[in-house]
Structure 1
Amino acid sequence: MEWRDEGIILGARRHGETSVILEVMTRTHGRHLGLVRGGRSRKQQPLLQSGNRVELIWRARLDEHLGMFQVEPVALNAARLMESAVAIFGLQTVAAHLRLLPERDPHSGLFETLAIVLDHLEQPEIAAALIIRFELLILEELGFGLDLTECAITGQRTELAYVSPKSGRAVSAEAGAPWRDKLFPLPSFLQSEAREQADIAALEAAFRLTSHFFARHVYEPRGVNVPESRAAFIVAVRRFIQQASAQDVARALP
């Protein structure tokens, strides 16, 4: 058995004295593991870091075997990403989300979205919005997608303001007014025609929204914990935005 594909490295763990088991998200073969002989060598270690984009050849005698990877570089992102706490925790968070999916199930849309996230992990506000969209896509791939396109009560597609915690469907401002205390606010940047950049309040509201549905449909039924990196990512984004705001105020002072 043999295939070639492009992948983004999610992690690696030691195997024996000299090798590693590499975990990658591939374009057409899903999240996949494989053995890299000599992966702990000085030559291989810089290549096999999380966040790097690589070309892969996978070989095994049978399809169900672990198999072996041959790895060549495409874009060595790891050194750049390791300079930012937001990027480190963001990468760990999306990797943890991908591990919720069955190994080897193809998800080309997630691969493309992951690549976009990696390109913007050094821009905290943009990265946070992208990771929220990544979480919505993960929920959809798991079969628990939210419908934020029209009001669950009236069917209208404008003035959407809330999300039902039960159905995961949007609700308009007028229809949801009597139950607004029991509904999640719908951040405007998640609406299809939104163009504005999200502020920290909107980002945190969106993370609370996705947290609820991950807990309800994924973490609690499976008896698993929320990845610690997710909370650390949100804290790092908040800290960056607060520091940036303080610097803006300082520059504006006479």
Structure 2
Amino acid sequence: MEWTSDAFILATRKHGEADLILEVMTPAHGRHLGLVRSGRSRRHSPILQPGNSVRATWKARLISQLGRFQIEPLTARAGSLMGSATALNGLQHLAALLRLLPERDSHPQLYSALSVLVEHLDRPNVAAPLLVRFELQLLQELGYGLDLSTCAATGLTDDLAYVSPRSGRAVSRDAGKPYHDKLLQLPSFLVDGQRQQGSEISYPEISQGFQLTHFFLERLHRGRSGEDAPAPPFAASRAGLVNVLEGAYRKTQPWDFINLPEDAVS
């Protein structure tokens, strides 16, 4: 068995004295692991860093085996990302989220979203809304997608302001007003057509977005592991990321409002 693909490095772990187990995300082969011989050498170590993009060739005698990677560098961004607290926490959280996916399942759209996100990960004001959207897309691909297109009560598309915690569907402001305390807030930057591209997004909206995705990520975890399950594996990385983003907002008051560039909207 053999394939070659562009890949994004999620993590590495030591194997023996000189080798590494490499974990990558690919468009056609999903999250994939493999062995890199002499991966801890001076030659390979700068390349095999989380955040870098590589050209990976995977080989194994049987598809069920771990297999081996041969790696060629494509984009070395790990050095620049290491200088950003948002990027470091974001990389850890993205890897934890992607481990919710079954290994070797194809997720090309999620890979495309990841490719856009990592290019902006060292800019908190751009990374924050993209991270919320990435979590929503991950939920979608895991079968826990939210329907934010129309009001669950009226079928209308105007003035969507809430999400039902039971159905995961949007609710308009008027229809949801009597149940305000029982509904989740829906920030307008997540609603198609409700905000123009490049318009300003306030940090409270970012916070609402993370609260929304947190609720459904927790539900996914409980659905898989049971109501009495311990905290999900992504809980610590997510808490750290949200704290860093909030800290960036508090330290730089001009970040009261943030702009999402048009090339990062999709």
8 Å contact from structure 2 (residues 125, 255) kept in 1: no
Q: Does the residue aligned with 2:13 lie in a helix, a strand or coil?
A: strand
Paired letter, 1:66? L
d(CA) in 2 for partners of 1:247, 1:179: 32
| Equivalent residue runs for 1:115-154 within 5 Å | 115-154=115-154
TM-score, with structure 2 as normaliser:
0.90
Which has the larger displacement, 196-205 or 104-113?
Answer: 196-205
8 Å contact from structure 1 (residues 189, 197) kept in 2: no
Structure 2 runs not aligned, ≥5 long: 257-266
Match of 2:203 among 200, 203, 217: 200
8 Å contact from structure 1 (residues 27, 107) kept in 2: yes
Paired letter, 1:98? L
Match of 1:235 among 234, 243, 264: 243
- The two structures, once aligned, show a CA RMSD in angstroms of 1.4
Instruction: Measure how far apart 1:221 and its partner are.
Output: 3.2
8 Å contact from structure 1 (residues 56, 71) kept in 2: yes
8 Å contact from structure 2 (residues 20, 36) kept in 1: yes
d(CA) in 2 for partners of 1:78, 1:148: 35
Instruction: Measure how far apart 1:218 and its partner are.
Output: 2.2
Q: Does the residue aligned with 1:167 lie in a helix, a strand or coil?
A: coil
- Map of 1:176 onto structure 2: 176
- The count of corresponding residues between Structure 1 and Structure 2 is 248
Q: State yes or no: 1:221 paired with 2:221.
A: no
Paired letter, 1:180? H
TM-score, with structure 1 as normaliser:
0.94
Q: Does the residue aligned with 2:204 lie in a helix, a strand or coil?
A: helix
Q: Percent identity, aligned pairs only?
A: 48
Instruction: Measure how far apart 1:239 and its partner are.
Output: 1.2
Paired letter, 2:213? T
d(CA) in 1 for partners of 2:143, 2:254: 42
Instruction: Measure how far apart 1:210 and its partner are.
Output: 0.6
CA offsets, 1:109-132, max 9 Å, x none?
011100111000111021011011
d(CA) in 2 for partners of 1:92, 1:217: 20
Which has the larger displacement, 9-18 or 216-225?
Answer: 216-225
d(CA) in 2 for partners of 1:122, 1:13: 24
CA offsets, 1:27-59, max 9 Å, x none?
211000000000010111110000100001111
Paired letter, 1:241? Y
8 Å contact from structure 1 (residues 125, 198) kept in 2: no
